[in-house]
Structure 1
Amino acid sequence: MKKKYTNNYDKIAPVYDFLSRMVYLNAQRKAQIHQLNYLPPGSRLLIIGGGSGWILEAIAHKYKEGLEIVYVEISGKMMQLARARTYGNNKVQFIEQDLADYHSDLKFDVVLTAFLFDNFTREQTEKAFPQIHSYLKENGLWCYCDFCITQEKGKWWKSGMLKMMYLFFRSLGMVETDHLIDMRPYFAAHNYSIQEAAFYYQGFIQSIIYSRE
């Protein structure tokens, strides 16, 4: 039987963005918006776990047309919010589906996974990473954003915040994992190189542009 990812934010979809800004100020958005500078004109994008879809408006602010976007999101309520966004004349295909059930013969120039893998157990990560990798073209870009506690400075408070975050989301039955997976070995094993790495919120949020070799 196929293992589902099932991390669903329906319960807090209307207030998720507000909670993000309340806790992390604008750091999560800044980390993702900066990555949009790497989007090639006329490219095909795969966005997985895009949430409320605010990123579609940020993309349209940079490119009002010419992009082909596939938007995969498991939460029906998040998808409703995303569909209501203004995304210019870019072509957007909305797919409300568990990542485990998503399959495509398309190859993408860019993949965006923002705060996706912090939801996954190791077993889920080991299934999801090669799946997403298979959709990316050679020399394609993987825009990766997530939390980070690998930097020693402030590691104690970062670990504390993660524990509180997981306690909150697990209490609502929205995530299965209770710890953060270090994704660096997965990218290294698949021969990705780092084009740029930036850190936000005192190093707690990382924004990395990976290139598939």
Structure 2
Amino acid sequence: MNNFNAIAPIYDQLKSLVFWGRLDDAKRAHLHQIKAGSRVLVLGGGSGQILSYLDDLEMSLAVDFVELSEKMMLIAKGRSFSNIHVNYVLEDVLTLDIEASYDVVIANFIFDLFEIDNLRFLLKKVSNCLSPNGVLLVADFQINKRWHAWFSQLMHGFFHLVASLESRQLKEINSELKMAGFHRTSSSDFYKGFIFSSVFSFNI
């Protein structure tokens, strides 16, 4: 089971040290496409830094924030916001019963946590909860260089130990999204192409 309780107190500092802020750049890259009044679902929101970025948009948003780690959730709840209304949901995204329809689903660095069967199951859940004109915002890792593969193996090994990470290796996430019926409308790369940030619509 993917659970980041053990690393929650130092997670934000660790990712900033290793990735020089590029993970956060990727998370913010396409938030400007969100419209005021949108209903937003954040999957695996971690310490809630994405909530601060959403609040920085200075528009009214209704956000359902889903996170499995109790300690990460406590950090997220400790943040204050001026513009967004947040509903905190402490649950595994795989068992989450999603009944609402969302204008925006945000999935940052979560798809890479799962093995193929669970990844495809989660993508199906996401497609089912998107509104007709809804968008999926994804920031995650991709391999296109030899050092990427080496670094990915090291990263997955570390998080397998400290967070009981389900996944043993990085998946071809963009290919899986395409197979699931998602169409990429815009994309940006960070950290020498090891990180991507993309906007997807769903082909009904």
TM over 0.5: yes
Distance of 1:124 and 1:185 partners within structure 2: 15
| Partner SS state of residue 177, structure 1 | coil
Which residue of the other structure, out of 118, 127, 133, is the alignment partner of 1:133?
A: 127
Q: Alignment partner for residue 159 of structure 1, among 146, 149, 163?
A: 149
TM-score, length of structure 2 as denominator length: 0.95
Alignment partner for residue 188 of structure 2, among 189, 195, 198?
Answer: 198
Cα distance in 2 between the residues matched to 1:61 and 1:174: 33
2:41–2:65 CA contact under 8 A, matched in 1 = yes
| Cα distance in 2 between the residues matched to 1:173 and 1:67 | 31
Aligned residue pairs, count: 203
Name 2:51's counterpart in structure 1: 56
1:137–1:212 contact (8 Å) kept in structure 2:
no
Letter aligned with residue 69 of structure 1? V
Displacement after TM superposition at 1:31 (Å): 0.6
User: 1:19-168, aligned counterparts within 5 Å?
Assistant: 19-63=14-58, 65-149=59-143, 151=144, 155-168=145-158
Shift of 1:32: 0.8
In 1: Cα distance, 2:83 partner to 2:43 partner: 20
Q: Is the 8 A contact 2:123 2:180 kept in 1?
A: no
1:187 aligns with 2:177: yes
Q: Partners of 1:187 and 1:163 in 2: how far apart? A: 22
Bigger mean CA offset, 181-190 vs 79-88: 181-190
1:170 corresponds to 2:160 = yes
In structure 1, how many angstroms separate the alpha carbons of the residues matched to 2:86 and 2:21? 25
Secondary structure in structure 1 of the residue aligned to 2:56: helix
8 A Cα contact 1:104 1:135, kept in partner: yes
Letter of the 2:48 partner, please give it: G
Any idea what the Cα deviations from partners look like across 1:86-107, whole Å, max 9, x if unmatched?
A: 2224211000001122112210
Structure 2: runs of 5+ lacking an equivalent? none
* TM-score calculated relative to the size of structure 1: 0.91
Aligned match of 1:3:
none
> Is the CA contact (8 Å cut-off) linking 2:6 and 2:163 kept in structure 1?
no
Identity of aligned residues (%): 30
Segments of 5+ residues of structure 1 without an aligned counterpart are 1-5
Contact 2:182 2:200 in 1 (8 A): yes
- The SS at the match of 1:138 is strand
In structure 1, C-alpha distance between the alignment counterparts of 2:39 and 2:163, rounded to whole Å: 34
Structure 1 position 81, deviation (Å)? 0.4
**d(CA) in 2 for partners of 1:191, 1:159:** 27
How big is the shift at 1:57? 1.0
Q: 2:10 aligns with which of 15, 20, 37?
A: 15
